[in-house]
Structure 1
């Protein structure tokens, strides 16, 4: 993809942080660090308003992230108290985690899609999280995850929960909603897949798309079956890609990596990636005769050897494999034999 700012791409490739940047009049990009994560930072976008700013996404709830956001706002000429609203693309910690702390500092409203807003309590409330972990454990057992690692994988995300300040949204944003930001013709596009309530935001007048994690310059977002997903999230994701592909925009502003220019070309590349992945999974299932999801996942091509993938990412890999199997099942290309574990075969 052609980077909108080559220096931003060079920072990503070189393992450094990009600069706080004035993208265009009234719009800034602020990198906010993500601890212990290969993504390294989330790009928070600052939209100037007549009486302050609104931001798209927020970062993790750590002092380092908060300080970086405050410093970035300062470069743009604003303070944290000038934030009037936080548009959250989805409820993963690197996008939503700091939103509550920002609201405490500024009184800003927080906006989410209803499909993600419904998941907040079970995901981040101490009184509800045990139920979610047990549901994840049951799902992993049906996938064939070995007993030796079952508990470790089921609770693998617990280590990052403290990086979220749980905050219920003040506004619910539906597909097609005008955000009502003075000076901005910003419209919401519901793009489920990476999360049930993922939102992108498009400005037809400025010809820019804030794509969150939906479309990134080089990597593809995790699309997985899990206790809070729908039954076929990959179908949702592929449909959502089609929904944004036709947009007439000149620049894509994602939450990670770097800004780029060719939206339709990138969408086509991602669609081709999933076509290839689906074919690979079909081939593995056919060669095995019958296999559980975990065994299929261990036989796929990943960015590193399976043995070197840490537990949290192994769980993601398994659940992403399950999403592809569910899509193939819906198309009649594989058959599920229910049990503990479920077995998958070709028809």
Structure 2
């Protein structure tokens, strides 16, 4: 259990309310931006004051409600949308990247992404390229053993949220260790792949702050999944990235969801223990059901709700997250994959 850095934010999260705009530190603001039809409810956009305006970390979904909330939040801090000089995007998921293009249109701000996520923008969000991505997802799900009647529904399950992204290519590419060059800030980028191939965190050594995006959250754990745009072993990337941020000497973590918190190392240890337990559970399923498909394994795992009540989009995430754990186990020789249509998983 971590200590909330903002009791008001935690109470809002627990009660299901929207938190207020907060002045985190001198020159730093937290602005909640609503996420439609999503249990996360909001993304926390952080505004960093500059001599001539602000830079924001993440932007929110491309909806009028989200845009209005961002504009209103900037107003509380004393700024307008035209004062935004830059958008530091932690990763290209819609709730972080979706509004970045609209912000740039209204303000002329630059958009920054890690190259690994920048390479994925066109295939993910360009109408001319999306069919290829859906076909690759369908092929992956077929190899996982998803039933034919469910295959098309799951392969296209994310299409409904694509319109909530204003496709915008980045103006700046940010690599691991880059200094962001924001006047008054010693902000440094940390490449933390796993949740997405190009996920970035940002650390301020002088202020002892970590802006963690989705990499480390106070209560929940981010989805780490194998999918057509991931690497072959994203869970290994994620666990390595967790170990890297655990070493940071910071006093406060500013995540993109839930609430700000203290005790980074303790939270990282808890997340790592969670994945250890999940890996052991999946290994037990493989041992009990020799020749199990990934989909069958997913249906036998413990989830936050009964499998039958999980909507299609989240079932796909659950399947692909199970595949990430199987890939991690395979890389360490703890399970083996019998390739086919579908792949079958067995003990060595």
Query: TM-score interval w.r.t. the shorter chain?
Result: over 0.9
d(CA) in 1 for partners of 2:49, 2:290: 58
- Give, in angstroms, the shift of residue 264 of structure 1: 0.1
Q: Distance in 2 between matches of 1:164 and 1:63?
A: 12
Please list the CA deviations of residues 66-120 of structure 1 after superposition, one character each: whole Å capped at 9, or x if unmatched: 0000000000000000000000000000000000000000000000000000000
Shift of 1:290: 1.4
Q: Per-residue deviation at 1:320?
A: 0.1
Distance 1:269 1:341 in 2: 34
Aligned match of 1:42: 43
Structure 1 segment 20-35 matched on structure 2, within 5 A = 20-35=21-36
Distance 1:36 1:289 in 2: 38
In 2, Cα distance between equivalents of 1:131 and 1:95: 24
Q: Which residue of 2 aligns with 1:278?
A: 279
TM norm structure 1: 1.00
Deviation, structure 1 residue 258: 0.2
Aligned to 2:252: 251
Q: Which residue of 2 aligns with 1:52?
A: 53
- CA distance in structure 2 between the aligned counterparts of 1:206 and 1:91, rounded to whole angstroms: 26
Unmatched 5+ residue regions in structure 1?
none
Q: CA RMSD in A?
A: 0.2
Tell me which residue corresponds to 1:226.
Answer: 227
Residue aligning to 2:117: 116
Structure 2: any 5+ residue segments left out of the alignment? none
Equivalent in the alignment of 1:329 = 330
Q: Any idea what the Cα deviations from partners look like across 1:263-288, whole Å, max 9, x if unmatched?
A: 00000000000000000000000000
How far 1:289 moved relative to its partner?
Answer: 1.3
Residue of structure 1 equivalent to 2:6: 5
* TM-score after normalising by structure 2: 1.00
Partner of 1:297: 298
What is the aligned partner in structure 2 of residue 190 from structure 1? 191
1:9 Cα shift?
Answer: 0.2
Residue 248 of structure 1 and its aligned partner are, at CA, apart by: 0.1
1:306 corresponds to 2:307:
yes
- CA distances 1:27-56 after superposition (whole Å, capped 9, x unpaired): 000000000000000000000000000000
